[in-house]
């Protein structure tokens, strides 16, 4: 099966599930589906609506793998150079933005899945087998990344897992 890929990671996922990765960016996705260039994908509901997945595919399994979200990164040295009051104000603004962001992400996810359903797609929860298989894919990819990242990468993953 030809699987839409748009990055090295999504290409690797395709390989690990036994699909043929085909590089297609979001702007060309609907056309690639219409012409048979790709037959499957792993994507967010938002991209699914934007590309009108419902015109070409019958099923969407809501694995929660790609949820709409954004992130802000701050330089540690620059943040550390701020006075305490400014640091506190930045942290409060960040906490408020995080709460708004997660609320918006949940809303967009719900709305886009509802649009997929309204246009005839069956939006289903993943089966236990699909969950287990995707977890194996994730463990394989994590292992491959750790092989490259070394001890520093392992420390990062260990800290995240605590």
pLDDT in tens, 51-70: 999 999 999 999 988 887 78
Same domain, 94 and 131: no
pLDDT at 80: 97
Same domain, 78 and 122: yes
Across the range 130-159, mean pLDDT stands at 95
Contact yes or no for 123/60 (Cβ under 8 A): yes
Angle between helices 8-16 and 128-161 (to 10 degrees): 130
DSSP state letters, the chain: -EEEE-SHHHHHHHHHTT-EEEE--HHHHHHHHHTTS-SB----HHHHHHTTGGGT-SEEE----S---------HHHHHTS-HHHHHHHHHHHHHHHHHHHHHHHHHHHHHHHHHHHTT-EEEPPPHHHHHHHHHHHHHHHHHHHHHHHHHHHHHHHHHH-
Q: Three-class SS string for 58-99? A: CEEECCCCCCCCCCCCCCHHHHHCCCHHHHHHHHHHHHHHHH
Same domain, 116 and 139: no
Q: Which domain holds residue 152?
A: 127-162
pLDDT in tens, 8-47: 999 999 999 999 999 999 889 999 999 999 999 999 999 8
pLDDT in tens, 83-137: 999 999 999 999 999 999 999 989 999 999 999 999 999 999 999 999 999 999 9
pLDDT at 31: 94
Residue located via tokens 């999504």: 10
Same domain, 7 and 63: yes
Q: Tell me the CATH number at 8.
A: 3.40.190.170
pLDDT at 151: 94
């Amino acid at each position: 099966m030809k699987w839409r890929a748009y990055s090295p990671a999504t290409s690797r996922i395709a390989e690990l599930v036994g699909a043929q990765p085909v590089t297609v960016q979001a702007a060309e996705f609907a056309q690639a589906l219409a012409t048979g260039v790709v037959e499957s994908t792993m994507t967010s509901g938002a991209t699914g609506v934007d590309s009108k997945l419902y015109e070409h595919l019958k099923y969407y399994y809501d694995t929660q793998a790609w949820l709409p979200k954004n992130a802000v990164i701050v330089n540690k040295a620059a943040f550390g150079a701020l006075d305490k009051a400014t640091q506190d104000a930045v942290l409060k603004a960040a906490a408020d933005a995080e709460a708004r962001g997660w609320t918006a992400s949940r809303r967009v996810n719900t709305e886009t899945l509802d649009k997929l359903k309204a246009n005839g797609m069956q939006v289903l929860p993943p089966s236990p087998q699909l969950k287990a298989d995707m977890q194996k894919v994730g463990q394989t990819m994590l292992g491959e990344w750790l092989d490259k990242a070394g001890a520093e990468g392992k420390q990062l993953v260990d800290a995240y897992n605590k």
